[in-house]
Amino acid sequence: MGQVNYYHAVPSPEMTQGLKNRGRTREDMDERRHAVEEFTGARLPTIAECPFDPQLAEKNVENMIGTMPVPLGFVGPLLVRGDHANGEFLVPMATTEGALIASVNRGSSVITAAGGATAMVVKDEMTRGPVFRARDVRHAAEAARWVEENLNEVRAAAEATTRRGKLLSATPYIVGRSLFLRFAYSTGDAMGMNMATIASEAAARLIEARTGTTLVSVSGNMCVDKKPSALNAIAGRGKTVLADVTVPRELLESKMHASPEAVAETCYRKCSIGSALSASLGFNAHVANMLAAAYIATGQDPAQVVEGSMGTTTAEVVDGDLYMSVRLPAIEVGTVGGGTRLPAQAEALSMMGCLGDGKAVKLAEIMGAVVLAGELSTLCAQAAGQLGAAHSRLGR
Active-site residue 97, yes or no?
yes
Exposed/middle/buried for residue 77 (C-beta within 10 Å: 0-12, 13-18, 19+)? middle
For the packed helices 151-159 and 137-149, what is the interaxial angle rounded to 10 degrees? 80
224, 307 in Cβ contact below 8 A?
yes
> Of 304, 317, 325, 312, whose CA–CA distance to 369 is shortest?
325
CB-based contacts of 257-261 (< 8 A; 24+ apart in sequence): 257/380, 257/384, 257/386, 258/380, 258/383, 258/384, 259/383, 260/317, 260/320, 260/321, 260/322, 261/317
Q: Please tell me the distance from the alpha carbon of residue 84 to that of residue 92, in angstroms, as a whole number.
A: 18
> Of 305, 308, 301, 309, whose CA–CA distance to 280 is shortest?
309
Q: CA end-to-end span of the chain, whole Å?
A: 41
Stated as kind and residue range, the H or E segment containing 86 is strand 86-94
Give the active site residue among 30, 37, 58, 97. 97
Give the active site residue among 58, 159, 301, 316. 301
Peptide bond into 70 cis (omega under 30): no
Active-site residue 139, yes or no?
no
Q: Which positions are catalytic?
A: 97, 301, 391
